[in-house]
Amino acid sequence: MRFLMTYNGNDKNPDPQKLQEIEAFGREMIKSGVLLDSGGILPLASKLEIRGGKFSHTDGPFPETKELVVGYAIVQVKSQAEAVEVARRFMAVAGDGTGEIRQLVGPADGPPR
In this predicted model, what pLDDT tens digit does every residue of 35-80 receive, in sequence order? 999 998 887 778 889 999 999 998 877 766 667 788 999 999 999 9
Host domain of residue 55: 2-104
Residue 85 lies inside a defined structural domain of this protein: yes
DSSP helix/strand/coil, 39: strand
| Spatial CA neighbour of 45 closest among 70, 21, 82 | 70
Q: Is 56 left (phi over 0), alpha (psi -120 to 50) or beta?
A: beta
Residue 113 lies inside a defined structural domain of this protein: no
Residue 111 lies inside a defined structural domain of this protein: no
pLDDT by residue (tens digit) across 83-111? 999 999 999 998 888 999 999 998 877 77
Q: How many domains does the chain have?
A: 1
Q: 33 exposed, middle or buried (CB, 10 Å; 0-12, 13-18, 19+)?
A: exposed
Residue 9 lies inside a defined structural domain of this protein: yes
CATH of the domain at 84: 3.30.70.1060
Residue 14 lies inside a defined structural domain of this protein: yes
Residue 109 lies inside a defined structural domain of this protein: no
Residue 44 lies inside a defined structural domain of this protein: yes
Q: Is the pLDDT of residue 113 over 70?
A: no
